[in-house]
């Protein structure tokens, strides 16, 4: 059961990204889809022209199966595992029927903002059509964000639900309203040193820094990661330069990074953070690190011909890049 964490962050620019946690990669690559690449949808025909986008995708039969992406207008969307709760239906009359694997390009290809996406979502019916027999449906929910707002989209048995996401983070189970309600249990946490509220009859003192966050979860479960990354993200402080902002974003997602060996799946398999990404939605620059390479690598979509009609893939740099100073 794949586990992931996504977050949004804003300084001078808007940043969107995620950790992808799994036991092995699927050959994903940073993939730019230019404006004239023809998206063929199973029920909606062909979208010959659309907004350009960049993100991480497994390309199958020249089709980008995006895990997450940001379009040229600064709208970002990421799918995260939602096993046991996600539900997709049959084709429905009077609806925009979209296969689950088409959802990200369907939204990012047409929408410049969350507000535009919300109007499109009113007509969407997510259909349980797999890409192929070898690539079955993934059970997902999504975070959709621009520089002004974020929402969570969940397709469950009762239909598609869209929730405002003021925390600007997403993990996996349980459903998003339960994740947000659970934050009530941690309202006492603070980045500041605590005061003695235990008893005025006892002389209790702080004995080290960071005690205001005592009780902040540190395990790898999805509900704990939601609390932890929300606390870290909402209390983050950084400069607004590109270097400072990107560095801080990687530190935010690093707070829930998964190390190989800590989540044992049996048979010699371990869940780990395969990659972390951060996309500057205003500039169209996609930054990433991999489990084996902590150096930040960047791909700028605007350095490519966005009027083209062919996918532009960049294989991931997997081997550790070490800068020797002597």
Do the domain assignments include residue 320?
no
Packing angle between helix 242-254 and helix 222-234, nearest 10 degrees? 150
Report whether the peptide linkage leading into residue 281 is cis, meaning its omega lies within 30 degrees of zero.
Answer: no
Q: What is the pLDDT of residue 3?
A: 81
By annotation, the residues acting in catalysis are 4
Nearest residue to 216 via CA among 206, 233, 238, 231: 231
Residue 155 lies in a domain: yes
170 belongs to a structural domain:
yes
Q: Which value, to the nearest 10 degrees, does the dihedral of the CA atoms of residues 67, 73, 75, 78 take?
A: 0
Residue found by looking up tokens 């270097």 in the block: 243
Q: Which domain, by its residues, includes 130?
A: 3-315
Does residue 166 belong to any structural domain of this protein? yes
Residue 321 maps to a domain: no
202-236 as b/e: b if 16+ CB within 10 A: eeeeeeeeeebbeeebeebebbbbbbbbbbbbeeb
What's the whole-model pTM score?
Answer: 0.96
Is the separation of the CB atoms in 305 and 53 below 8 Å? no
d(CA 105, CA 21): 22
- Tokens 């586990």 -> residue: 3
Number of domains in the chain: 1
- Which residues touch 226 (CB under 8 Å, ≥6 apart)? 5, 169, 170, 171, 179, 182
3-class state of residue 148 by DSSP:
coil
> Residue 258: inside a domain, yes or no?
yes
Q: Is residue 198 part of a domain?
A: yes
Neighbouring-strand partners of residue 89: 127
Over its length of 326 residues, how does the chain's per-residue pLDDT go in tens digits? 568 999 999 999 999 999 999 999 999 999 999 999 999 999 999 999 999 999 999 999 999 999 999 999 999 999 999 999 999 999 999 999 999 999 999 999 999 999 999 999 999 999 999 999 999 899 999 999 999 999 999 999 999 999 999 999 999 999 999 999 999 999 999 999 999 999 999 999 999 999 999 999 999 999 999 999 999 999 999 999 999 999 999 999 999 999 999 999 999 999 999 999 999 999 999 999 999 999 999 999 999 999 999 999 999 999 999 999 99
Separation CA 62–CA 215 (nearest Å) = 47
Quote the CA–CA distance of 234 and 22 in Å, as a whole number. Answer: 26
Straight-line distance from the first to the last Cα atom of the chain, in angstroms, rounded to the nearest whole number = 44
How many Cβ atoms are within 10 Å of 34's Cβ, its own excluded? 21
Q: Quick check: is 326 in a domain?
A: no
Residues recorded for the chain: 326
- Supply the CATH number for residue 95's domain: 3.60.60.10
Distance CA 244, CA 248 (A): 6
Q: How far apart are CA 267 and CA 31, in angstroms?
A: 32
């Amino acid at each position: 059961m794949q586990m992931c964490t996504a977050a949004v962050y804003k300084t001078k620019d808007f940043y969107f990204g995620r950790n992808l946690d799994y036991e092995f990669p699927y050959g994903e690559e940073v993939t730019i889809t230019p404006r004239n690449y023809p998206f063929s949808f199973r029920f909606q025909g062909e979208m010959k022209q659309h907004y350009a986008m960049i993100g991480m995708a497994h390309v199958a039969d020249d089709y980008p199966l995006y895990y997450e992406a940001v379009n040229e207008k600064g709208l970002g969307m990421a799918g995260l595992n939602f096993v046991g709760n996600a539900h997709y239906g049959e084709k429905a009359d009077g609806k925009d029927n979209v296969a689950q694997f088409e959802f990200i390009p369907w939204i990012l290809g047409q929408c410049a903002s969350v507000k535009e996406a919300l109007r499109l979502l009113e007509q969407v019916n997510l259909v349980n059509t797999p890409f192929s027999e070898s690539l079955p449906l993934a059970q997902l929910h999504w975070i959709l964000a621009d520089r002004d707002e974020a929402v969570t989209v969940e397709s469950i048995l009762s239909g598609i639900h869209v929730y405002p996401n003021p925390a600007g983070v997403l993990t996996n189970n349980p459903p998003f309203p339960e994740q947000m309600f659970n934050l009530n249990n941690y309202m006492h946490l603070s980045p500041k040193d605590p005061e003695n509220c235990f008893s005025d009859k006892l002389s209790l003192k702080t004995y080290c820094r960071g005690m205001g966050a005592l009780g902040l979860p540190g395990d790898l479960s999805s509900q704990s990661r939601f609390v932890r990354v929300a606390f870290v993200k909402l209390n983050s402080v950084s400069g607004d330069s590109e270097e400072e902002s990107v560095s801080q974003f990687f530190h935010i997602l690093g707070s829930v990074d998964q190390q190989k060996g800590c989540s044992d799946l049996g048979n010699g398999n371990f869940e780990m953070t395969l990659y972390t990404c951060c996309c500057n939605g205003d500039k169209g620059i996609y930054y990433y690190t991999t489990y084996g390479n902590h150096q930040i690598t960047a791909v700028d979509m605007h350095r490519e011909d966005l009027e083209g009609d062919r996918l532009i893939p960049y294989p991931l740099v997997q081997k550790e890049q070490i800068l020797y100073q002597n």
